[in-house]
Structure 1
Amino acid sequence: MPWNCPWSQERQRPPAAIPPLHYEKEGVAQAHAFRSKSFRKPQPCHWCHQPVAGQGSCCRVCKYVCHTSCENMVSLD
């Protein structure tokens, strides 16, 4: 790994964190692991594409965001 001067204008950025994918167990996809989450800024629902403001659900594994009411309709394709 080359050494970079801390005062250099060309600093390398650390690699972006990639959200983990669903873990597969013997070739079978696992279901989402939803948890309740409060959103300060409205986030788009991945199911109905409407903004999720305030309280919603977020998958612990893949960060899938949806309304609590849309959570029951979400399934893995």
Structure 2
Amino acid sequence: MRLATLHLETARYGGVYRAARLARLRQQMIRHIKRTDASAQKVEQALAILAEANAPMDRLARHQYDRAYVRSRPTT
């Protein structure tokens, strides 16, 4: 077991300090990546629901457009 030094410069820039800081930063990065992944999954689910909700409207709009086109077409 290593004891922390009382000398501030050695404690701040020593190997033990760097290793502890690196471990803490690694854990923070993992936590942020997991949070981002969870948020992205929620966005993908919301987009899927939105696309599903808009799909019937797209078909209805196309049908109405086709009917309007047939009516406006000159007959010869």
Shorter-normalised TM-score: what interval? under 0.3
The structure with the largest helix share of the pair is 2
TM-score for both structures, normalised by structure 1: 0.19
Q: Which has the larger radius of gyration?
A: 2
The structure with the largest strand share of the pair is 1
TM-score for both structures, normalised by structure 2: 0.19
